[in-house]
Amino acid sequence: MKFFVDTADVDAIAELNDLGFVDGVTTNPSLIMKSGRDILEVTKEICGMIDGPVSAEVVALNYDDMIKEGRKLAKIAENIAVKVPLTWDGLKTCKTLSEEGTMVNVTLCFSANQALLAAKAGASFISPFIGRLDDINTDGLQLIEDIRVIYDNYAYETEILAASIRTVNHVSDCAKIGADVVTAPPNVLQNLAKHPLTDQGLEAFMKDWAKTGQKIL
């Protein structure tokens, strides 16, 4: 499973990338706002840091302007995935851009029917939002499972990019279901390495080692 980091913080991306944990990056208008930087500038810098897809989102709501914005974003770098919302105009934009050879990430997916339409429109990635479904007492992971079944039934090449990841359990559950990608904030990816029993075991080892009076260096 691929790990995308969901942030526009270049320092956080660099730290995870040095460990080999970054297969791609996703951004959105809210993350760009948090970075405090110009969207074109920071996106270009991120694209230069990693080889994988970098999602940059359009902000227009109608097809004509989405196409213009999408084409401008696509010119930033070859690894740009233009991010469009799962609306009718977004799907039309997806079809046009994908036919032009541009990667497209269709975002804000909340149903299997929406995911089916995105695949038929040629999306490179579909981004179902797990956490936001959980927020309204709907099983977000069930959506991932439903999309996996549909895509496998018809051999769609669109990759399932599980988004709105809130917990480490979301990550492991998505891996078991068969999501192609998870995109998560840096802190969630870092928390994958943590376990209280690891900490307890390490503490016990250190106490015993101190009693030996030995040194390795």
Annotated active-site positions, please? 83
Kindly compute the dihedral angle of the four CA atoms of residues 175, 35, 41, 83, in this order, to the nearest 10 degrees. 40
- Which residue, 103, 64, 57, is CA-closest to 83? 57
Are 70 and 82 within 8 A, CB to CB? yes
Are 43 and 200 within 8 A, CB to CB? no
- The structure tokens 């270009």 sit at 44
Are 2 and 13 within 8 A, CB to CB? no
> Residue 16 is encoded by which pair of tokens?
């995870």
